[in-house]
Amino acid sequence: MKRFGALPVFALVSLAVLAAAPLVGGGVSLDVVFHPLPRDPASMIFWQIRLPRVLLGWVAGAGLAAAGMVFQAIFRNSLATPYTLGVSAGASLGAALGMRLGLGGLLLGFSVMNLSAMAGALIAIGLVYGLTRLRRECSTATMLLAGVAVNFLFASLILLIQYSADFYDTFRILRWLMGGLEMVGFSAPLRALIVVAPVALVLALMSFELNLLTIGEELAISRGMAVARVRSVLFFLVSLMVGVVVSICGPIGFVGLMCPHICRLIVGADHRRLLPATLLFGGAFLVVCDTAARTLFAPTELPVGIFTSLLGGPFFLWLLLKPSRAGTAAV
């Protein structure tokens, strides 16, 4: 049992959340789960709206949390996340551009919007990583400043796109930028799953490499790892994941900050445990946040991105300011 530590608990809690969340909120009883009726509003709410939304939230949360975990390993810093590094913004720009140009069509099963979001994420990672490497040390300050710069750049480009769009597109982009999981049907969760599941699998196979990245580049090289190649592969994989999630749900912030950090406190830094814990926790976390966002002020729904940012902002400040032991300093 010691070998797996808290992981079974993570799995149980995550499954429980997944099972319970679609039933929370009015209009749905257990009856429709086991005896769904065609054309029955309650059945349709459960099967067409609630369940897909919860599944999407779970997959998106798991993907964003895992992306944060990978960035934290590469930058050796627990403040590195898709959101703070500007990678979400890059993906948003790509997606907004796709929306504005009204590009349709599919390529290998992905919409142009998915693909342009992935490209945007990749460009943002390249930019922010290049900026950090310009200074030879990768301090928290350098990394956050590079992230802020990239965020500004992409935010202004997104504004430019919005400005040039008509009322309808502007609102659509704005609403989507707030982050939300309101999708009808199973196509959205499936599209997210098709990317997040294989990427998570490859990340699991790369646990050793992720561990070595966290102990530092020079030491990792001396242990026999081809650091540059591993890093490129990881950047690519995470861009795919962030790109597809952001293009579906918008840039939901701070999931990638809070979840890996909390999991690290519970299961430790070894990625063989940290990755499954982060996936399970991240999925459950976003589902809980979304369930709260849609029920707390019912009948009004909050976009879940606003909700996670309200939680994440203070958490970020706490991480930045907490008194640190010598070895765990974020700075």
Partner 1 sequence: MMPPALEIESLSFSINGASILKDIRVTIGSGEKWSIIGANGAGKSTLLKCLLRIHPDWTGSVHLFGRCLDDYSQRNLARKVAYVPQPGDDQRFPFTVRQFVAMGRYAYSGMFATAHKDDDAVVTRAMQQARILEFGDRTLDTLSGGERQKVFIAAALAQQADLLLLDEPTAFLDYRHQAEVSRILGEINQHNGATIVAVTHDVNAAILTDGLVLALKQGNMAWIGPAADLTQPGRLEDIFNTSFRLIEDPVTGRRLVVPQEAGQ
CB of 71 to partner 1, least distance (A): 13
Q: Per CB under 8 A, does 166 bind partner 1?
A: no
Which of 268, 301, 306, 310 lies at the binding interface for partner 1 (CB under 8 A)?
Answer: 268
Which of 216, 313, 317, 318 lies at the binding interface for partner 1 (CB under 8 A)?
Answer: 216
Closest CA to 67 of 232, 313, 208, 241: 241
Supply φ then ψ for residue 194, to 5 degrees.
-60, -30
Q: Per CB under 8 A, does 327 bind partner 1?
A: yes
Q: What is the DSSP letter of 21?
A: G
Beta bridge partners of 107: 110
Q: Per CB under 8 A, does 211 bind partner 1?
A: yes
Closest CA to 185 of 284, 304, 53: 53
Q: Per CB under 8 A, does 215 bind partner 1?
A: yes
Which amino acid is residue 215, in one-letter code?
I
CB closer to partner 1, 207 vs 295: 207
Which of 264, 281, 285, 290 lies at the binding interface for partner 1 (CB under 8 A)?
Answer: 264
**Span of 11-19, 219-227, 240-248, 281-289 interacting with partner 1 by CB under 8 A:** 219-227
CA angle 95, 101, 105 (to 5 degrees): 80
CB closer to partner 1, 20 vs 331: 331
210 and 203 in contact (C-beta within 8 Å)? yes
Q: Per CB under 8 A, does 261 bind partner 1?
A: no
88 and 128 in contact (C-beta within 8 Å)? no
The span from the CA of 88 to the CA of 245, in Å, is 9
CB of 153 to partner 1, least distance (A): 28
CB of 193 to partner 1, least distance (A): 22
Q: Per CB under 8 A, does 222 bind partner 1?
A: yes
CB of 12 to partner 1, least distance (A): 24
The span from the CA of 125 to the CA of 187, in Å, is 28
Burial of 125 from C-beta contacts in 10 A (0-12 / 13-18 / 19+): buried
Which of 223, 232, 297, 318 lies at the binding interface for partner 1 (CB under 8 A)?
Answer: 223
**Span of 11-19, 28-36, 215-223, 239-247 interacting with partner 1 by CB under 8 A:** 215-223
- Other CB atoms within 10 A of residue 36 CB: 13
Which of 93, 113, 212, 240 lies at the binding interface for partner 1 (CB under 8 A)?
Answer: 212
The span from the CA of 286 to the CA of 94, in Å, is 23
CB of 195 to partner 1, least distance (A): 21
CB of 187 to partner 1, least distance (A): 32
Q: Tell me the number of residues near partner 1 by CB under 8 A.
A: 34
Q: What is the number of helices (H) and of strands (E) in the chain? A: 15, 2
Q: Cα dihedral sign for 180, 185, 186, 191?
A: negative
Where on the chain is the footprint of partner 1 (CB under 8 A)?
Answer: 76-78, 205-209, 211-212, 214-219, 221-226, 264-265, 268-270, 272, 325-330
